[in-house]
Amino acid sequence: MPKIKLDKKHFNYSYVTAYHLNNQGKMVNHVYDFSWVVFSDEEILIRRKL
pLDDT single digits (tens) 2-49: 999 999 999 998 999 999 999 999 999 999 999 999 988 899 999 998
At residue 34, the pLDDT reads 94
CA 28 to chain centre: 6
At residue 5, the pLDDT reads 94
Q: How far is CA 49 from CA 9, 24, 32, 46, in A?
A: 22, 20, 9, 10
Place 50 in a pLDDT band, splitting at 50, 70 and 90: confident
Q: How far apart are CA 42 and CA 39, in angstroms?
A: 8
Q: How far apart are CA 47 and CA 50, in angstroms?
A: 9
Whether the model clears a pTM of 0.95, i.e. scores above it, the answer is no
